[in-house]
Amino acid sequence: MTATTHDNENPAEEVTSEITDEVYDIAIIGGGPVGLYGAYYAGFRGKSVVVIDSLSVVGGQVAALYPEKKIYDVAGFPQILGRELIEGLHQQALKYNPTFLLGESVTGRSVNLDSNIHTLKTASGRKIHTRAALISGGVGTFTPKPLPAARNFSGEGLLYFIPNPTELQDLDVVVVGGGDSAIDYCLMLKEVAKSVTLVHRRSEFRAHEASVKELFESSVEVITDAEVTSLLGDDRLEKVEITKGDEVIYRNCDRIVAALGFNANVASIKALGIDVIENRHILVNTKMETNVDGIYAAGDIATYDGKVKLIAVGFGEAATAINNAVVRIDPKEHLAPGHSSDNKG
């Protein structure tokens, strides 16, 4: 596609000159619950989709912060584990074979004003061309806080997520952290792993009281006021060194789970050239349109008068955004999608 010299109405928006590769119909920035549902919906509407997320797994806040908690307010599920909800959303999205780019942050955007094609740029230098984009970026790019002791370890065995606990069956596992995620992981893993050891650098936990009580009554070995100071093993983790005051302890360890929390950063969302208000939200209209033509927002990052930040609300917003994007891409399309129960899935 050719260069354009149009003056751009949005001063923060770069104008792109060249589009050579595949052009997606819809790019979804953020593979949390809302982005995953948006991916399903875009596929259901027959559109090609790419989902980009800074995390190495899908699921956003649910996968990162509370995969082992039960959620009670998602329509149709009296209760469901966070991990299971994400697995269901992922499977639903996969039905239409979207492209997933995980471990990639979208850090910039340009637009070709002749074709109205947006080009998203990622931190690794990738360029993704799209006719429309849905920003479902939640509270910004999520990155796990690194485990300092793992700095010099390049072998296999360090985990920041456990999407599938059965992969840790009969293994020696060490969990590091003192929050809800660390304790929830321990309580879940004690059912499948050979051994579970929790290492926390304080003696107090930042977790639900009932979970802490359950932890101390369980088979999990809890080592407090201690830090994992070294990961030992060559290609694959074999042992960890734990320092507790003057004492150095070793534990067999096939997998170490760093549950130290996440850093959230909206800087890259701001770099997309969309108006961001209150330093973290994108104002949308009833079509979930942002101030930039062809760019929609849904989920925690989207705001309007009366907004309620819930997964259930985000699902509706994603469906509204995608259906409106479909009409924008092709004005001959209907806004109403028809019923999935009419054998269309």
Sign of the Cα torsion 178, 179, 183, 186 reads negative
For ligand FAD, the binding residue among 226, 269, 283, 325 (CB under 6 A) is 269
Residue number with CB closer to ligand FAD (64 or 226) = 64
Between CA 264 and CA 144 the distance in angstroms is: 9
Q: How many chain residues bind ligand FAD (CB under 6 A)?
A: 36
The dihedral region occupied by 328, where left means phi > 0, alpha psi between -120 and 50, and beta the remainder, is alpha
Looking at residue 40, the DSSP 8-state letter turns out to be H
- Return the SS3 of 37: helix
**Residue of the chain from 188, 311, 319, 321 that contacts ligand FAD (CB under 6 A):** 311
Q: Is 298 exposed, middle or buried, given 0-12, 13-18 or 19+ CB atoms closer than 10 A?
A: buried
Query: Toward ligand FAD, which CB reaches closer, 139 or 242?
Result: 139
Nearer to ligand FAD, 13 or 300 (CB): 300
Contacts of ligand FAD in 140-199 (CB under 6 A): 140-142
Q: Which stretch binds ligand FAD (CB under 6 A): 3-11, 15-23, 191-199, 309-317?
A: 309-317
Collapse the DSSP code of 251 into the 3-class scheme (helix H, G, I; strand E, B; otherwise coil) and give the result: strand
Instruction: Please tell me whether residue 33 binds ligand FAD under the rule CB under 6 A.
Output: yes
**Only segment of 130-138, 227-235, 253-261, 288-296 that touches ligand FAD (CB under 6 A):** 130-138
According to DSSP, residue 288 is labeled -
With CB under 6 A as the contact rule, the residue among 28, 50, 52, 86 that binds ligand FAD is: 52
Helix or strand run (H / E) with residue 252: strand 247-252
Return the residue nearest ligand FAD (CB atom). Answer: 138
Which one among 54, 112, 197, 290 touches ligand FAD, defined by CB under 6 A? 54
Residue 86 is a binding residue for ligand FAD (CB under 6 A): no
Structural Rg of the chain based on CA atoms: 22
**Alpha carbons 259 and 271: distance in angstroms, whole number:** 29
Q: Which of 48, 136, 323, 324 binds ligand FAD (CB under 6 A)?
A: 136
- CA dihedral sign of residues 131, 134, 140, 142: negative
C-alpha 157: how far from chain center = 21
Question: Hey, which residues between 57 and 76 contact ligand FAD (CB under 6 A)?
Answer: 60-62, 65-66, 71, 73
Question: Toward ligand FAD, which CB reaches closer, 121 or 131?
Answer: 121
Is the Cβ of residue 175 or residue 272 nearer to ligand FAD in the bound state?
Answer: 272
Q: State phi, psi for 27 to the nearest 5 degrees.
A: -105, 135
Rounded to a whole number of angstroms, the minimum distance from the CB of residue 250 to ligand FAD is: 34
In the three-class reduction of DSSP (H, G, I as helix; E, B as strand; rest coil), residue 148 is classed as helix
Figure out which of the listed residues 39, 106, 231, 295 binds ligand FAD, where binding follows CB under 6 A.
Answer: 106
Distances (CA, A) of 162 to 38, 87, 329: 24, 12, 38
Minimum distance from CB of 40 to ligand FAD (Å)?
13
Q: Tell me if 309 contacts ligand FAD by CB under 6 A.
A: yes
Compute φ and ψ for 62, nearest 5 degrees: -65, -45
Contact residues for ligand FAD, defined by CB under 6 A? 29-35, 52-55, 60-62, 65-66, 71, 73, 105-106, 136-142, 268-269, 299-300, 309-312, 314
